[in-house]
Structure 1
């Protein structure tokens, strides 16, 4: 019996020595490379066929046409929109969807935040976007298994992702689905990227209806101003202002653990995102009573509102058969003294003539730094 107990420690010592000398390779399985198994759009999940891989072997990667993949994605989006009676959309010009898709290859995990701490509407605005956007993101694959992607494999993934986001989106309460088929969208910016480990797909749906003569700004004197022309006859109902703190850089770990959805304002951060996002102020026209000045009306409305109400001192709107022009200004001094530096995101709400449904014309962020 004693001999047995003596032998065991000797074996353990030998194994420990081999780990020390050979870096643990004694225990490692041979590296593998995996190929996507045939995938139908209605498949419940993705599967891979894997085989041992000699690391000295140089793989000749197939050529993959990204433009062709983007065209396919757009076609599938419009097929679903037609199925649900929404008008077709066109490919947008913003590069932010592609940039975000490429950045997510670093972590191979879905995140609506970027490493500079920005959310989708911030990235869109910082790159010159002047409409309203809503984003869908999906990362497929893992950093543990090396993949060999072909163009056909990525096409199958795009079709599978499209079907699952529209028809099997229960886990996201059909937010992706609603975004894809929403009738107000008229453009989509598509980002598709791939590495040896994962494929990333970003759909940034865009509503562009305004020709701007003055993009929303907050001057150094805290004057809020915007002016432009909506390309249909509408009523500008109100303007909601959301506030986010100045974005700060995020680590890969913070991106990997960020919420699976995003929202406007400070109650939605990379740590936790609340569904109860509220604006820090709402700007209204002085139309309730022409005999009351903006300050008096503002005081009356704020008695019954849990959101600060600002009555614009300038709210000029003209209507044509197929257009609406507007010029709006308001003093943000009191608001800015409370919140200070940060990102102020402007949501302009409008109702098209003959419709009771409001629509958001802008998600434009003003970086007041």
Structure 2
């Protein structure tokens, strides 16, 4: 580097421009990996049009919607924002019942908007657990996915719009070390056919990954610095792979769990990750600011098991005052008055 600079002003300027280009490219790549979840469970939130404008003003290029709110879809037209469109759990039975129902749903909420609304994913159900409180919905997830997929495929859009479902990490039975990650035995009969579909359709699994809840549940064994991406050294050595943050370890345990089924390769998109600023143990403004800032910076790097950008949706856009328990009201990046809660941004 010293020899390069010593050749004169022209070389110095060339070097500067090269570094500036690389830095700018890095920012754009990082920005492109980050989306933000738009929840609406508040009685003091801005209009849907104002929210879309706020996304654009802050260079947030991806949005997750939890249901096909038509006012939000109208506001998204020609915005350039990529969309993960959710189907709530209470709609799954209807969509699983018949292909005709799925065709009707797709016409109303997808084909009437696409491509002016850039729908990239359809998330069929969220955090359905076959042995948990949402067990009633488990039987409907795969047939609903298949019916919606066939509706999308019939229009020739199955390569542009991927149909999947969002899981949480409670379905993981073994997560330590990450390379030994595996799904719980009591959910395998539910998950394996879904994974088979994802392989067939070349669609990613959507996963909600929250180091906060892992830390809150076991602060004795999980250090705060490890959960916040702040650990200066490797905390978990897993063979040749070293883990300095819990997010990578959790995500790689999902990668390993998918691989261990032997069904085929499936990419993972992080459909939620966040840290609350109040409401319970470890939920402070400083912790949330640190986690979210570091997460946004980190996603371009990949994990030890799967290097490369990690498409990630931050939870959530706003504090939502109608959610329960109290903790759930404090995940916002913005206050309902559209002011930033934290000083960081998403690049230029």
TM-score w.r.t. length of structure 1: 0.20
Larger Rg: 1
Is the strand fraction higher in 1 or 2? 1
With normalisation by structure 2, the TM-score equals: 0.21
Structure number having the greater helix percentage: 2
